[in-house]
Structure 1
Amino acid sequence: MLSPVTDSDGAPFWEYAARGELRVQTCGDCGEPRFPPRPCCPYCRSFVSEWRKTEGRGRIWSYVRPHPPLLPDYAALAPYNVVLVELDELPRIRLVGSLVSEAGAALDSVAESRVRIGARVQAVFDPVGGLPQWILERP
């Protein structure tokens, strides 16, 4: 099973994901969302932050289908769809994840022919590892 490499700035993202919540770090002073997580707001330079819950809906902004050579743990699963999703609520925030047919499905469970830029997606969470994944809203 693949698992994320966490640091102190990004650890809350993964803790919320393990609970089935998609949250984005937001500046506690100016309210601007930021991803990836980092200690200082790039807009107002504040070190105060909070984690805003999102609905987890968005659209595919871009995608790639990696093929070997890859890191060994990933090569064994390739090829599969990796999408960059622009969130509806936070259009400047884009999250990377696997496009799957349902939560916990194999990484290659969606045919490449079904992946389209602009396609509507919804966040789901792998029941085993809690990793955020994406499913098509209109399968």
Structure 2
Amino acid sequence: MDSWEPRPLSDVTPESERYWAAASEGTLLLSTCPDCGLTIHYPRARCPDCFTETEWLEASGDGTVYSYSAAERMEGWPEDDLPLVVAYVELDEGPRMMTNLVECRPEDVSVGDSVSVAFAATDRKDVGIPVFRLD
């Protein structure tokens, strides 16, 4: 997979820094609450349910397509990567994350399809982008 640029990058914050760094090394991290057991995506320092400080959990990287949409044209998106398939993936650990499905055509995707995480490199050594491929 080519570099993520010229696509926009998310802001790296103190809460999300470890998440992006792990992704740059090929690991998907989630936040989890040691008190109530909630597993969370997008990374947060505190559980949104009980406000306990969260811990990091290495995710399996496996999930299913919960919902998806495709765009034939996208301003600033590389032509070679169109159509763009955007999806909510429900991870095996529970949370859903918005992501891109790569190396597939929209007509090959169905709700409920199994997917696995892959990572796109960026121009920043400390930031990788989790994307998903159909299994």
TM-score with structure 2 length normalisation?
A: 0.79
Give the partner amino acid of 2:109: V
Aligned with residue 23 of structure 1, among 22, 29, 35: 29
Q: Which residue of 2 aligns with 1:95?
A: 97
| Cα gap change, 1:22 to 1:66, in 2 (>3 Å) | same
* 1:75 CA displacement: 7.6
| Cα gap change, 1:74 to 1:6, in 2 (>3 Å) | farther
* 1:67 CA displacement: 4.8
Q: Deviations over 1:22-63 (max 9, x none)?
A: 1101124333211222232122221x1211001111100000
* 1:134 CA displacement: 0.6
Structure 2: state its 5+ residue gaps.
123-127
Q: Which residue of 2 aligns with 1:104?
A: none
Q: Which has the higher relative contact order, 1 or 2, with Cα contacts under 8 A spaced 6 or more apart?
A: 2
Q: Which residue of 2 aligns with 1:66?
A: 71
Q: Deviations over 1:42-91 (max 9, x none)?
A: 22221x121100111110000011355x5x43486553101110011x22
User: Aligned residues, how many?
Assistant: 123
Do the aligned residues in 2 keep the contact of 1:16 with 1:23 (CA within 8 Å)?
yes
Structure 1: state its 5+ residue gaps.
102-109
Distance 1:19 1:75 in 2: 24
Distance 2:108 2:11 in 1: 30
Do the aligned residues in 2 keep the contact of 1:125 with 1:133 (CA within 8 Å)?
yes
- Give 1 or 2: higher strand fraction: 2
Do the aligned residues in 2 keep the contact of 1:67 with 1:75 (CA within 8 Å)?
no
TM-score with structure 1 length normalisation?
A: 0.77
Distance 2:82 2:105 in 1: 13
Distance 1:78 1:134 in 2: 15
Distance 2:41 2:61 in 1: 14
